[in-house]
Structure 1
Amino acid sequence: MHELVFFDMTRWEITPRYRAGMTNYRAENADEDSLRKIKRGYYVEWRVADKHKMTFFDRMDLFVDTVDTDAPKILAGDAVRDGLSQIARRPFRLKPYFDPGVWGGQWMKRVCGLDPEYPIRFDFLDAVGGQNLVNAVTVVNEDEHVREEHTGLHELEFIETRRLWIEDEVTIDNGGSVNQLNLVEGERALVESLDGSFEPYKVHYAETFIVPAAVKGYRLVNPTGERIGVIRAYVRKPQA
Structure 2
Amino acid sequence: MTGYLKLYPYDGGNSRGLVNEITAFVFAKALTLPTPNSAFVIPVPLASVPKPAGWMKDAIKKGLTHYPAFGTRELGHEEGALALDPDQDSQLLRAELRNWAECPAAVTFDETIAHTDRHLGNVYRLSREKYALFDHGRLAVSRGARDWIRRDLEPARDFWNRLLEELFDSRPPATFVSMMQHHGLRHEAVLKTVQSELHYWWKCLIPIEDDRLAFGCFLTSRAERICDIIRARYNGLA
**What TM-score comes out, normalization by structure 2 length?**
0.24
User: If each structure's helix is expressed as a fraction of its own residues, which one has the higher value?
Assistant: 2
User: If each structure's strand is expressed as a fraction of its own residues, which one has the higher value?
Assistant: 1
Q: Determine which structure has more spread, i.e. the larger CA radius of gyration.
A: 1
**What TM-score comes out, normalization by structure 1 length?**
0.24
